[in-house]
Amino acid sequence: MKIRNKCPLALLVFCCFTRPLVSQSDSVKLEEVTVSVYLQERPVLKLPASVALIDSAQMQQQHGQSLVPVLNTVPGVRMEERSPGSYRLSIRGSVIRSPFGIRNTKIYLDDFPLTNAGGDAYLNLIDLHALSSIEVLKGPDGSLFGANSGGVVKLSAVDFKNRNSYVNIGGGVGSYGLFRQHVSLQQHFGNSSLSITEGWQTSDGYRRHSAMDRKYLQLTDELRYSPKGSLRLFLFYADLNYETPGGLTLPQFQNNPRAARPATSATPGAEEQLAGVRNRTLFGGLQHEIRFTKRVRHVTAIFASRTLFENPFITNYELRDERNGGLRTWLEFVNKGTSGIRMTYNIGAEAQELSSHITNYGNARGSKDIIQAADELNVSQGFVFTRLTVDFYNRWIVEGSLSYNFNQLSFIRQEPVRSEFRNKRFTPQLMPRLAVSFLVNPYISLRAMAARGYSPPTLQEIRPSDNTFNTGLQPEEGWNYETGFRLRTRNGRLWWDASVFFYQLNRAIVKRINTAGQDYFTNAGGTYQPGAESQLNLQILKTDSHRLVRSLIFSNAYTFHSYTFRNYSNELGNFSGNALSGVPQHMTVSGLTIGLPAGFYIFSQYTYTSRIPLNDANSDYAREYHLVMAKAGWKYKSKKRFALDINAGVDNLLDQSYSLGNDLNAIGGRYYNAAPGRNYFSAINLWF
């Protein structure tokens, strides 16, 4: 089947505005949709921020193998998976800072930061079926969440507001040796609630040397010891092991996309070196919440983690032992008043410290060889924040917030020659945010905001795979200006959320690769980042009659990002005015859910991604691609608690050849990490 080179104009006109489905139910009550990422539950319609909610029903619509298609339904978000288990994530930005992993985006598990003090977040550890919802805050917001230049993601593990006790057992199989299973238990004992989730996923992978195996165990226990106080324990252990097949050149990609990176005259191949990652992490946290009065609330969360990270790479063999811990606490004061003015004031702080022992060896066909470098690094980072929100007569909301951020690093080389401790301290930074929203009527709201983004280099950027300390690397920072509106119809069957923004980032951090194939990072002069995003959810049909089609819901997400470098030149050339590497100008994701009689349903999703610049010089581009996923299933729910969902589907129905996660600025043009061709999946879920 031949696909046209340009996204059809009619498709853009019809599909350019988006909202992922809010609920699986036939009726959508958008006034009741709330998010909690801003410390308390607030209705989305009046919120002076660009935020998206993904609930469990939306996650269940996808094939269930990965968070990638789930998060990519949010406009402004681009998530990639170079090979199974190797995640990259950007919000209104580029993955140019992330050879693998996630940077310049803050991620939380409930009130516990998953992003460690070194700036890295191991999102690929989390099993999709252990989450109840995801909230995405787009654009920089350091006023409550500390240093970030992209945005914030809040993962909610358990919804204990749902007081139903249940057991959920599910599993699935798919192409290329995919097998997954999970078991979840939620039980309530008086004032105590317990949730346990176990998950296992394994795959042989589409490409050679791209197998993945992840085991995950999560426990959450909440005790409401009084009407005003609660204590929550959160624990997870993950053991993730995945192979990294490496990037291919364009001729290699076109000739055999399933191949792993072959050897050259200078370097061995990925299979020969047994290149891969193993990450074993134990994470724990304890959260206490108490409401002293109806107007005063206090929340404190303490957390700690231990990560053993092993990465045999083509050029070396790296071991990391990371210990991270910290505290997050805040107070809330509410003054409702009697004149129609409501004020909410928050003050709080968050602090973390990371101790990391990093050792690099030579890689002798997957075994540790002669030691190259051994370093001990310690990172301390934290911030204090304050926010005032004023609601005038339930129409105007004005919000001002500010944080004061600090970050410092100390390091010592132990091998091959011991050095003295050295310190790198970044100048403390203020990160303000000002936002306002206006409720025109119960169905239309307007918003505008300005916020400063700031993101210091992560530990893996200061000490990258070339084993040097890049102490000259500077934080990236800039201002984001944004305006938008939300619209819903009286009957709640149409929801539209649109925004435009301009983000000018200074000293943007970009990745480059040296002649040995090792990553290093440098500051570009900056970037211009104008964009537009839109969400749409439309309930086309809802009927209780005996028609063949009982319900029809259309959703769509459109992203326009026209990002360019500014004042950026180096020994390779002047890149000012070039498109920012790794950022497609257009993305659109459209979904259609069809409800049929007797519990049968069909879900289909279409994704279009325009061409992507692969290097800063813009001399090479990855071509555009069109993806279609289709899924059909049957749901049964008894009058009691038993429920069943059986489904099967096909992904990449058009059998497109594309790379989902390009190695930007790769030496020798080894950009491409081929994604699977047409593939199939099936799953079953039971609740009782």
Percent of the chain with pLDDT over 70: 94
Phi then psi for 217, rounded to 5 degrees? -135, 130
Q: In angstroms, rounded to a whole number, what is the distance separating the alpha carbons of residues 530 and 566?
A: 13
Sign of CA pseudo-dihedral 158, 160, 161, 167:
positive
Q: In the prediction, which pLDDT does 214 show?
A: 98
Statement: residue 324 has pLDDT above 90 = yes
Contact 614, 581 (CB under 8 A): yes
pLDDT digits (tens, 9 = 90+) for 156-169: 998 877 778 899 99
Query: Comparing C-alpha atoms, which of 55, 53, 56, 28 is closest to residue 42?
Result: 53
pLDDT of residue 32: 62
Q: Give me the pLDDT at residue 31, please.
A: 45
Which stretch of DSSP H or E encloses residue 462? helix 459-462
User: How far apart, in whole angstroms, are the C-alpha atoms of residue 514 and residue 567?
Assistant: 22
pLDDT beyond 80 at 3: no
Q: For strand 569-570 and strand 34-35, is the pairing parallel, antiparallel, or unpaired?
A: unpaired
- For 190, 332, 346, 619, the CA distances from 295, given in Å and listed in that order, are 27, 8, 12, 59
pLDDT at residue number 364: 93
How many angstroms separate the CA atoms of 30 and 42, rounded?
12
Q: Name residue, tokens 């999560």.
A: 218
**Structure confidence at residue 465 (pLDDT):** 73
Residue 5, token pair as written in the block:
């080179």
Question: 99 pLDDT band (50/70/90 cuts)?
Answer: low
Quickly state the pLDDT bin for 510 (edges 50, 70, 90): confident
CA 369 to CA 268: how far, in whole Å? 15
Between the two ends of the chain, the Cα-to-Cα distance in Å is: 44
Average pLDDT on 273-300 reads 96
3-class state of residue 15 by DSSP? helix
pLDDT at residue 34 tops 90: no
pLDDT at 658: 96
pLDDT computed for residue 24 by the predictor:
38
- DSSP for residue 510: E
Confidence band for 596, pLDDT divided at 50, 70 and 90: very high
Per-residue pLDDT tens over the stretch 464-508: 877 788 888 899 999 999 999 999 998 889 999 999 999 999 998
If one compares 349 and 7, the residue with the highest pLDDT of the two is 349
For residue 559, give the nearest of 537, 534, 536, 580 by alpha carbon. 534
> Would strands 679-687 and 643-651 be described as parallel, antiparallel, or unpaired?
antiparallel
Cα–Cα distance, 612 to 629 (Å, whole number): 22
pLDDT at 533: 97
- Band the pLDDT of 11: cuts 50, 70, 90: very low
Domains of the chain in start order, with CATH, are 9-687 (2.40.170.20)
pLDDT band of residue 587 (cuts 50, 70, 90) is very high
Candidates 210, 200, 212; CA nearest to 237 is 200
Give pLDDT tens digits for 330-369: 999 999 777 889 999 999 999 999 999 999 999 999 999 9
> Where do runs of H (alpha helix) occur along 320-446?
none
At residue 203, does pLDDT exceed 50?
Answer: yes
What is the tens place of the pLDDT at every residue in 621-658? 999 999 999 999 999 998 888 999 999 999 999 999 99
Which residues fall within 8 angstroms of residue 640, CB to CB, at 6 or more apart?
none
Q: Given a cut of 60, is residue 23 above it in pLDDT?
A: no
Q: Which two tokens stand for residue 240?
A: 């993730």
What is the four-CA torsion angle of 579, 584, 586, 588, rounded to 10 degrees? Answer: -170
- Provide the pLDDT for residue 51: 94
Mean pLDDT of the chain: 90
**pLDDT value of residue 676:** 96
Of residues 595 and 21, more confidently modeled: 595
The span from the CA of 665 to the CA of 668, in Å, is: 9
Query: Within 10 A of 688 (CB to CB), how many other CB atoms are there?
Result: 12
pLDDT(673) > 60: yes
Residue 648 has a pLDDT of 97
Q: Which amino acid is at 591?
A: G
Per-position b or e across 663-683, b if 16+ CB within 10 A of its CB: bbbbeebbbbbbbbbebebbb
Quick one: pLDDT band at residue 10, thresholds 50, 70, 90? Answer: very low
Is residue 20 over pLDDT 70? no
DSSP 38-92: TSS-EEGGG-SS-EEEEEHHHHHHS-SS-SHHHHTTSTTEEEEESSTT-EEEEES
Percent of the chain scoring above 90 in pLDDT: 73
Supply the pLDDT for residue 632: 97
Residue 27 pLDDT: 38
- State the average pLDDT over residues 567-585: 91
Confidence at residue 16, expressed as pLDDT on a 0 to 100 scale:
35
